[in-house]
Structure 1
Amino acid sequence: MSDVQGFLNLDKPKGWTSHDCVARVRRLLHLKRVGHAGTLDPAATGVLPVALGRATRLLQFLSSEKAYRAVIRFGVTTATDDLEGEVLTERSPSDLTRERVEAVLPEFLGKIEQKPPHYSAIHVGGKRLYERARRGEVVEVPTRTVEVFGLEVLGWRPGKFPELEVAIACGTGTYIRSIARDWGEKVETGATLAGLVRTRSSGFSLENSVAIADLETQVKAGSFVPCDPSAALMHLDAIGLPGEEGKRWCQGQRIPVSGTVDTVLRVYDEEGQFLGIGRIMEGEKTVLAPQVVLHGF
């Protein structure tokens, strides 16, 4: 299947790293060029967009929107801010109520300052935080601005260690583990992330995702068909090029167009075939320059 190109909407299983998923897909499809968008922690499940073949060049143009279903457990804190890490504190918050927990919800909406977990893949001082944490290094983790577009309470489970289930829509770089940790700090009980499912990422949704086992079945049956490369790019505006212009564009030439400079567009030929990604640039004239060409003439 070396000629495969497009996207796979994979439902990442629990316990697998995103790299594990890419390696399995590469072996199943006999492809060298396989990549993914939006890393998921091993303990998390859900949507992992996987690019196949030349579509790997489109990963940089995917939308950054993501959505999750998360379970936050109060009364427990851990080194990793989820249940995978060493328990640091454990005290049953017997007086914690749903009303008290929901009262701080607005503080996590909009643009917020967030400190990533000590066990995360971001670089500080040239090394990934989780590498430094494993060595026992004490590192001051810098805060950064992230954006949460929506936050909805789905359920409340009282008990010795009560749990809140929430739906979260957010932008790139948002750590749900950090939201869980910070929520616990705001209600003064401590908290950690007890479960996480990514329900949407870069235009792909969980209900249309494919499990690893189902992918294996489809490949063996010869019925696997990847998502069209342009399916993940519908957030971008589109432009159509008539025959000769489309041919010249695919050959690397810049085509005079009108439009706003630096706008990224999906490019189609006159028959509606997706050709690739172009960017409007300014020179002697405003032109559409090829960024990624997927089809030639």
Structure 2
Amino acid sequence: MLTSGILVVDKPLGLTSHDIVMRIRKKLGTRKVGHAGTLDPAATGVLVMGVGESTRLLEYLTAADKVYEGEVCFGQATDTEDAVGNVVAVKDAGFLTTDLVVSAARSFMGVQWQQVPAYSAVHIEGRRAYEWARAGSVVELPHKKIEIYELKVSTFEAGSLATAKFSVHCSKGTYVRSLCRDWGTVLGLPAHLKSLRRLQSGLFSIDESVTLAEFLADSRPEHYILSALEGLRELAWVEISSSDASCLRLGQRVPGNLELQNGPVAAVCEDELVAIVWPQWTKDKNCWLQPHKVFGKGEQ
């Protein structure tokens, strides 16, 4: 059984991301399972997971942009900013029109600072934000730099509680429920996220995912697991010789022939991942590949 690689799961409604990890661990008989990019229990869709040694690659997959489709409810706010929480504010949204909602959506395009929700895992003064919220304590919530690349309204339904279905392409770390909260604020209304589905995480699409039920029911679930190299589609690759592969695995840097670039690079020998390396350059612009994480032969 292939016990190392990348798995793309279509997370069902009602389960936490950690719940998915626990079920995959039990099915594969290994504790080495993790995920990149948490989805709330009330959300569904793409959850990228690492299995075996590939859990060490997850940090390179979490920085990817995300694409979601969802539904926002205008006229009602909840303490969690989604449909799960308790209603904390109500206001008639009957005046809203499609044009007003679309115009407000346009105001979110680009880079901005977003205040994180009270019910989030962000650390504040040594505790998670949701721990302060559950205790009834009021703390100053931090703001995170995010970017909205596209926010499109597909349908709008008027009413005292108006709803709009939308799609959003955003940067890592964007809270879509907070986006809905702020969307309402621009319109002078309380608002919350009614439903959310992640369609894409980086280059991983819902079209290549497997449902949790399908995975758990399959007698040979390993065929759903992508190789480490298939999973590292976000990174640049560099081909190296077998002798350089041996050096990298010993923690030694080797010469490279990369063009000037930043960020991690996958060093590959004979279609096998050898290491994640960081390019370094001398004053005369010679390139060296410094190993950051190395993988033994056959580990991937």
**TM-score, normalised to structure 2's length?**
0.92
C-alpha displacement at 1:64, in angstroms?
2.0
- State the match for 2:46 in structure 1: 47
Q: Deviations over 1:27-48 (max 9, x none)?
A: 0100111110001111001111
- State the match for 2:123 in structure 1: 123
- State the match for 2:237 in structure 1: 238
1:80 corresponds to which letter in structure 2?
A: T
C-alpha displacement at 1:150, in angstroms?
1.4
- State the match for 2:16 in structure 1: 17
Structure 2 CA distance for aligned equivalents of residues 109 and 36 of structure 1: 28
Structure 1 residue ranges, 4+ long, deviating more than 4 angstroms after superposition: 282-285
Asked whether the equivalents of residues 250 and 275 of structure 1 are also in contact (C-alpha less than 8 Å), the reply is yes
Asked whether the equivalents of residues 11 and 46 of structure 2 are also in contact (C-alpha less than 8 Å), the reply is yes
Aligned alpha-carbon RMSD (Å): 1.9
% identical equivalent positions: 35
C-alpha displacement at 1:283, in angstroms?
6.6
**TM-score, normalised to structure 1's length?**
0.93
- State the match for 1:38 in structure 2: 37
Structure 1 CA distance for aligned equivalents of residues 43 and 87 of structure 2: 18
Aligned pair in 2 of structure 1 residues 185, 154: CA closer, same or farther (>3 Å)?
same
- For structure 1, the residue ranges without an aligned partner over 5 or more in a row are none
Alignment of 1:218-297 (within 5 A): 218=218, 220-221=219-220, 224-259=223-258, 260=260, 263-269=263-269, 271-282=270-281, 286-296=287-297
Structure 2 CA distance for aligned equivalents of residues 263 and 223 of structure 1: 31
SS of match in other structure, 1:35:
strand
C-alpha displacement at 1:221, in angstroms?
4.1
2:198 corresponds to 1:198: yes
2:132 corresponds to 1:132: yes
Asked whether the equivalents of residues 261 and 282 of structure 1 are also in contact (C-alpha less than 8 Å), the reply is no
Aligned pair in 2 of structure 1 residues 50, 120: CA closer, same or farther (>3 Å)?
same
Structure 2 CA distance for aligned equivalents of residues 66 and 231 of structure 1: 19
SS of match in other structure, 1:139:
coil
Structure 2 CA distance for aligned equivalents of residues 294 and 202 of structure 1: 24
Q: Deviations over 1:239-282 (max 9, x none)?
A: 1012322232233321112443754211111x333323111135
- For structure 2, the residue ranges without an aligned partner over 5 or more in a row are none
Aligned pair in 2 of structure 1 residues 174, 223: CA closer, same or farther (>3 Å)?
closer
Aligned pair in 2 of structure 1 residues 154, 222: CA closer, same or farther (>3 Å)?
closer
Q: Deviations over 1:196-240 (max 9, x none)?
A: 00111132111111111100122x246634111122322221110
Asked whether the equivalents of residues 74 and 184 of structure 2 are also in contact (C-alpha less than 8 Å), the reply is yes
Structure 2 CA distance for aligned equivalents of residues 296 and 252 of structure 1: 14
Asked whether the equivalents of residues 203 and 232 of structure 1 are also in contact (C-alpha less than 8 Å), the reply is no
